[in-house]
């Protein structure tokens, strides 16, 4: 329960930044045109990548892809993977 609350609070607190990052790396997709499921999975995963040092990036990405495949569309897993790969590569370099 504590973990879930931490993630929810963090995503809400950084939502504007997370949405800008999603749009930056989602290749011509505006945030409001994305499927709700994909958008929220990306918000959570990017929050985990950027703000949760206790979660390995590979775990955050793999869980997001699995959730997308289960609850999203046929293309959600690939879409989420593509965005998160770019975020991991680019944003982690900027943080160093």
Q: Could you tell me the two tokens for 20?
A: 């800008």
pLDDT 10s digits, 34-53: 999 999 999 999 999 999 99
The answer, yes or no, to whether residue 94 has pLDDT greater than 70, is: no
> Which pLDDT belongs to residue 74?
94
Q: Could you tell me the two tokens for 78?
A: 């690939």
Residue labelled with tokens 């609070």: 9
For helices 57-71 and 36-51, the axis angle rounded to 10 degrees is: 170
**How many Cβ atoms from other residues are within 10 Å of residue 31's Cβ?**
14
Burial class (CB in 10 A: 0-12, 13-18, 19+), 58: exposed
**How many Cβ atoms from other residues are within 10 Å of residue 52's Cβ?**
16
pLDDT 10s digits, 69-80: 999 999 999 999
Average pLDDT over residues 10-26: 95
Average pLDDT over residues 17-35: 90
Class of domain 2-95: mainly alpha
């Amino acid at each position: 329960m504590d973990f879930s609350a931490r993630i929810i609070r963090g995503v809400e607190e950084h939502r504007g930044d997370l949405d800008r990052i999603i749009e930056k790396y989602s290749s011509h997709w505006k945030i409001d045109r994305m499927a709700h499921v994909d958008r929220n999975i990306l918000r959570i995963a990017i929050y985990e990548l950027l703000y949760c040092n206790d979660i390995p990036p590979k775990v955050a990405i793999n869980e997001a892809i699995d959730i997308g495949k289960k609850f999203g569309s046929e293309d959600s897993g690939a879409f989420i993977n593509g965005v998160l790969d770019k975020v991991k590569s680019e944003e982690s370099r900027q943080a160093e």
